[in-house]
A and B are shown apart, each in its own frame.
Chain A
Amino acid sequence: LAKTTQPISMDSYEGQEVNITCSHNNIATNDYITWYQQFPSQGPRFIIQGYKTKVTNEVASLFIPADRKSSTLSLPRVSLSDTAVYYCLVGDIGTDKLIFGTGTRLQVFP
């Protein structure tokens, strides 16, 4: 089973932009890339998804290069409340399974 890898942790300060990258070499050709956010003692919740190029919503942007083997979640001007673990989710072309990334723990400091 292919791995979907992310940096283990990142630190930032309030007001800065944070970019979290997920590597997914075996991504299914017909499926989206979806990102989730998880706070302690809660289940993950949806942030954003896209298929290619760039997607933006009210909380984040998602950048996807043409080969789709990676994606970057961009959080503009983070606040303390953005401290959480972030996961990417993709389909695996070899197995047709969904694979969550290893997760990135973001810590935002005042």
Chain B
Amino acid sequence: GAGVSQSPSNKVTEKGKDVELRCDPISGHTALYWYRQRLGQGLEFLIYFQGNSAPDKSGLPSDRFSAERTGESVSTLTIQRTQQEDSAVYLCASSLAGILAKNIQYFGAGTRLSVL
């Protein structure tokens, strides 16, 4: 595709339910990033993939959060037993190569998650 695609664009769920957020990166981009952005706040790093491996999971807030990437392409961020504090926009980005600021990140529009 032309850009990074995220689905769904909006997700409303009940507290305690599991959710899956999907990211389709730009074809050929080996690096993929997930961020969380609470309302009116900055970008909070969650996890980074190089290929299908996640060398840096340090930003995942708790063990309820997990992510995987397959085929050096699609990535899924899963939040189990959602809590109200998980409400935020989840942004995905991809870049041609790995973890340098030099490698321009291309962002999707995000998934807005609301936990009731």
Interface residues of A (CB under 8 A from B): 28, 31-34, 36, 41-46, 49, 87, 89-91, 96-98, 100-103
Contacts and interface: CB of A to CB of B under 8 A. Distances in A.
| Chain B CB within 10 Å, residue with most, of A33, A43, A49, A102 | A43
B75 interface: no
Interface string B15-37: 00000000000000000000000
Contact count band on B: 10 to 19
B40 to A, nearest CB: 9
B107 A98 contact: no
| Chain B CB within 10 Å, residue with most, of A32, A98, A102 | A98
B74 interface: no
Given A43-B4, A91-B100, A97 B56 contact: yes
B1 interface: no
B110 to A, nearest CB: 6
23 contacts: A31-B100, A31-B102, A34-B101, A41-B109, A42-B107, A42-B109, A42-B110, A43-B4, A43-B107, A43-B110, A44-B43, A44-B107, A46-B106, A49-B102, A90-B101, A91-B101, A96-B99, A97-B45, A97-B56, A98-B99, A98-B101, A103-B42, A103-B43
A107 to B, nearest CB: 14
A39 to B, nearest CB: 10
A89 B101 contact: yes
Interface in B50-93: 56, 58, 91, 93
A100 B107 CA distance: 14
B43 A100 contact: yes
A31 B109 contact: no
A46 to B, nearest CB: 5
